[in-house]
């Protein structure tokens, strides 16, 4: 099965840049997802990477290195509303349509 690892908590200052890392097992890899989840709410889709490189969407960017089993989510110009948990998810195995989610990284943005 898949094993997702991401830091438990991070703190960053409003207006700054923060990078949230995620590592996964590379066998049978078929894409990696990032979701944002505010406390008490449902996860919302942020990005999906299947090829190596950086994909930018406004203030949020996501990077993938398939050979290293590594991804990161980059948040620029942090705002207070970016305080949330960020979940990394990858297929549970080769050809699987089940996703394995990491435990999430709780980001606190401080003034």
Partner 1 sequence: DGGITQSPKYLFRKEGQNVTLSCEQNLNHDAMYWYRQDPGQGLRLIYYSQIVNDFQKGDIAEGYSVSREKKESFPLTVTSAQKNPTAFYLCASSIIGRTSTDTQYFGPGTRLTVL
Per CB under 8 A, residues contacting partner 1 are 4, 8, 30-31, 33, 40-45, 48, 50, 87, 89, 91-92, 95-104
CB of 62 to partner 1, least distance (A): 13
Helix (H, G, I), strand (E, B) or coil at 100: strand
Q: Which is nearer to partner 1, 3 or 13 (CB)?
A: 3
Closest approach, Cβ 77 to partner 1, in A, equals 25
User: Which residues neighbour 21 within 8 Å (Cβ) at sequence distance 6 or greater?
Assistant: 6, 7, 70, 71, 72
In sequence order, what DSSP letters do the residues of 6-50 get, joined into one string? Answer: --SEEEEETT--EEEEEE---TT---EEEEEE-TTS--EEEEEE-
């Amino acid at each position: 099965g898949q094993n997702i690892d991401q830091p438990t908590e991070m703190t960053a200052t409003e207006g700054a840049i923060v990078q949230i890392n995620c590592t996964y097992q590379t066998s049978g890899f078929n894409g990696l997802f990032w979701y944002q989840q505010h406390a008490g709410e449902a996860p919302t889709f942020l990005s999906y990477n299947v090829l190596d490189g950086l994909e930018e969407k406004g203030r949020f960017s996501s990077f993938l290195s398939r050979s290293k089993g590594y991804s990161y989510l980059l948040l620029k110009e942090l705002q207070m509303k970016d305080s949330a948990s960020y979940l990394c998810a990858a297929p549970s195995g080769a050809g699987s349509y089940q996703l394995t989610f990491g435990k999430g990284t709780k980001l606190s943005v401080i003034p």
